[in-house]
């Protein structure tokens, strides 16, 4: 009888970077991931253009999954971990940014700052908006209603405030070369959207991608908010601080546990703690890192726990303050 290979147990201590030196990008693996993404997107568009309502609805769901895949690809391209050949990331990143509604160069620069300053909530540009503060009546009402009704307010503001907010981008990146590339990236993507709507028409555009985009934003609301929100963070209060090394960023982030097929499809974007600890490891190879992270939680358990809280408590407080173990 053939003996089965025993599964590799998760390590109690984080692997050293030298132990993960073999987990490098591959052009073939990257191409297969991109091919899968293109297949889902093409199938979603094809179904969405059919006459039958049930085919259209199926197409919107498939297309939404494809859009989330493109967001995962954008993430990998920003880290240059999709392919071994580095120059391919700039090309693919533009395509992924198009489907993600995020200019690629803007993403790369802002997301880089996020990884540098993870753990300092008021310094990290992607978490600064959620620094604890006294909310006005309108803000409280807006946050609580949107969170309760699953209106994807955060994923929309995440895009607008971090990647399309020109005055804020100018403040974050004062160098002339940065500003030129930010402007080109933004204007080129905006021009592409305007051209498509002008040629296809508003009605056809909304019918083809409208519901899919809404579903995408709802899914990304959960994904983005699961990663750092409601976890205790440090505040610099404007004082000079030092970044935390990547290996120490585990405590400031959270990982969801997706079904295996979904995690694989989305390049293990749910393994967020491992990604922050080892940002040079391709997402599609994070499953090969045998370490059980500290803040890992099942998808449905996190959704139930997070949704049980009012939006204002979930977004602007942490679990030490609310007692919610999520």
What is the per-residue DSSP string for 97-120? Answer: HHHHTS-HHHHHHHHHHHHHHTTB
Nearest to 97 by CA among 182, 27, 166: 182
Number of CB atoms found within 10 A of residue 53's CB: 8
Q: Is residue 95 exposed (0-12), middle (13-18) or buried (19+ Cβ within 10 Å)?
A: middle
The pLDDT of residue 12 is: 74
User: CA 99, CA 45: separation in Å to the nearest integer?
Assistant: 12
DSSP string for 266-322: TTTTT-HHHHHH-TTS-GGGGGG--B--TTEEEHHHHHHHHHTS-HHHHHHS-HHHH
Residue corresponding to tokens 């009888």: 1
Nearest to 276 by CA among 244, 304, 237: 244
Per-residue pLDDT of the chain (326 residues; tens, 9 = 90+): 333 333 334 557 899 999 999 999 999 999 999 999 999 999 999 999 998 999 999 999 999 999 999 999 999 999 999 999 999 999 999 999 999 999 999 999 999 999 999 999 999 999 999 999 999 999 999 999 999 999 999 999 999 999 999 999 999 999 999 999 999 999 999 999 999 999 999 999 999 999 999 999 999 999 999 999 999 999 999 999 999 999 999 999 999 999 999 999 999 999 999 999 999 999 999 999 999 999 999 999 999 999 999 999 999 999 999 999 88
User: CA 66, CA 37: separation in Å to the nearest integer?
Assistant: 6
> 104-117 vs 176-200: helix axis angle to the nearest 10?
130
Number of CB atoms found within 10 A of residue 126's CB: 21
Nearest to 26 by CA among 284, 318, 249: 284
Number of CB atoms found within 10 A of residue 201's CB: 11
Angle at 148 between CA 59 and CA 145, to 5 degrees: 110
Spatial neighbors of 73 by CB under 8 A, at least 6 apart, are 33, 34, 37, 82, 92, 96, 267
- The two three-digit tokens of residue 297, written as one number: 């939680």
Spatial neighbors of 156 by CB under 8 A, at least 6 apart, are 217
The pLDDT of residue 61 is: 98
Residue corresponding to tokens 């963070």: 233
User: CA 144, CA 134: separation in Å to the nearest integer?
Assistant: 14
Are 117 and 243 a contacting pair, CB within 8 Å?
Answer: yes
Q: What share of the chain is helix, strand, coil (3-state, %, to 5)?
A: 65, 5, 35
What number of H helices and E strands is found in the chain?
14, 2
User: CA 283, CA 271: separation in Å to the nearest integer?
Assistant: 8
Are 212 and 67 a contacting pair, CB within 8 Å?
Answer: yes
């Amino acid at each position: 009888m053939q003996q089965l290979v025993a599964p590799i147990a998760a390590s109690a201590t984080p692997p050293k970077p030298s132990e993960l030196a073999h987990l490098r990008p591959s052009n073939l693996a990257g191409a297969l991931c991109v091919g899968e993404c293109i297949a889902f997107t093409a199938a979603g568009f094809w179904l969405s253009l059919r006459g039958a309502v049930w085919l259209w609805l199926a197409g919107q769901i498939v297309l939404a999954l494809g859009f989330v895949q493109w967001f995962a690809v954008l993430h990998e391209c920003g880290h240059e971990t999709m392919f071994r050949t580095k120059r391919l990331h700039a090309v693919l990143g533009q395509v992924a940014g198009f489907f993600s509604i995020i200019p690629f160069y803007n993403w790369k620069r802002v997301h880089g700052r996020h990884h540098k300053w993870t753990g300092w909530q008021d310094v990290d540009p992607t978490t600064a908006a959620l620094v604890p503060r006294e909310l006005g009546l309108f803000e409280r009402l807006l946050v609580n209603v949107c969170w309760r009704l699953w209106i994807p307010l955060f994923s929309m503001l995440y895009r607008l405030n971090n990647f399309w907010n020109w005055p804020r981008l100018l403040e974050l990146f004062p160098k002339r070369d940065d500003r030129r590339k930010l402007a080109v990236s933004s204007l080129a993507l905006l021009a592409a959207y305007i051209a498509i709507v002008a040629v296809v028409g508003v009605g056809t555009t909304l019918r083809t991608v409208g519901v899919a985009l809404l579903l995408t934003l709802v899914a990304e609301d959960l994904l983005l908010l699961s990663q750092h929100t409601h976890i205790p963070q440090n505040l610099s209060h404007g004082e000079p601080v030092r970044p935390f090394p990547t290996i120490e960023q585990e405590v400031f982030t959270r990982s969801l546990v997706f079904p295996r097929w979904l995690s694989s499809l989305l390049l293990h974007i749910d393994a967020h703690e491992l990604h922050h600890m080892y940002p040079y490891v391709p997402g599609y190879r994070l499953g090969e890192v045998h370490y059980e992270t500290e803040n890992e939680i099942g998808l449905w358990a996190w959704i139930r726990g997070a949704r049980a809280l009012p939006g204002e408590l979930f977004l602007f407080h942490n679990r030490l303050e609310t007692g919610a173990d999520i």
